[in-house]
Structure 1
Amino acid sequence: MSLSELTADVESAYAALDDAEITLDGESKMELAMLQAALEEDDPATLVRRGIHMLFQSTTETGKLDFHLRGAYDVTYDEYLSGMTYEEMTGGTNPTSSDDDRRYQF
């Protein structure tokens, strides 16, 4: 898969969310109700949005998002945001390195 396929999949999933009604299981409903009561939030959708933001941030910060994107699409989130792969950003060439240069690579 590629950057263009990832972009198409994200756009497709985004469009599908307009019509989606998400149903919750009993455990999720109980947890959402507990959060509503504890945080004094009347609108459960606000808490769902906050939960999605937290999950996205956590997945991004731990590198899990890049791991899954690299495995499925062979790109990272930074590449997706920029609209080009690292190879495209650098002109598609890798400078040759000597053995001495390798010790500085992580």
Structure 2
Amino acid sequence: MTLEDLTADVEDAYGDLDGTFGLDLDRETRTELAMLVAAMEADPEELVRRGIHALFRSTVDTGDLDFQLRNGYDVTYDEYLMGMSYDEMAGGSQYPQRDDDRRYQM
């Protein structure tokens, strides 16, 4: 195979992506997906599934998912998987909260 063959396969894959997904792909995403389809001879939908898995794994591994979850929900991914917060796991919620206003009154 030659560079011309690859170019033709990418252009064919690019054209075949019209209407494949229920969302609009920008030009860059579409070109990258077409290159992957041509190079890997894979179904575009399978490549999108793989891409989602890769993005998810990457955000978990780098801590980005925990950062986003902590900002939005005040939990981490591990807490989500366990179904309880770290405080609950450590027994921090079993003691009553202190009443600081009455703490030093006798």
**Class of the TM-score when normalised by the shorter of the 2 chains:** 0.5 to 0.7
Q: Using the aligned pairs only, state the percent identity.
A: 64
Alignment of 1:38-57 (within 5 A): 38-41=39-42, 43-57=43-57
Higher relative contact order (CA 8 A, sep 6+): 1
Query: 1:92 deviation in Å?
Result: 1.4
Query: 1:58 deviation in Å?
Result: 0.7
Larger Rg: 2
What residue is the counterpart of 1:25 in the other structure?
A: 26
What residue is the counterpart of 1:70 in the other structure?
A: 70
Query: 1:68 deviation in Å?
Result: 1.0
**TM-score normalised by length of structure 2:** 0.64
Aligned-residue RMSD, C-alpha? 1.5
Query: 1:21 deviation in Å?
Result: 2.3
What residue is the counterpart of 1:35 in the other structure?
A: 36
Deviating beyond 4 angstroms after TM superposition, the runs of 4 or more aligned structure 1 residues are none
Query: 1:85 deviation in Å?
Result: 0.5
Where structure 1 has 5 or more consecutive residues not aligned to the other structure, the ranges are 1-19, 94-106
Instruction: Name the SS for the 2:23 alignment partner.
Output: coil
Q: Distance in 2 between matches of 1:55 and 1:67?
A: 15
Question: Which amino acid in 2 is paired with 1:34?
Answer: M
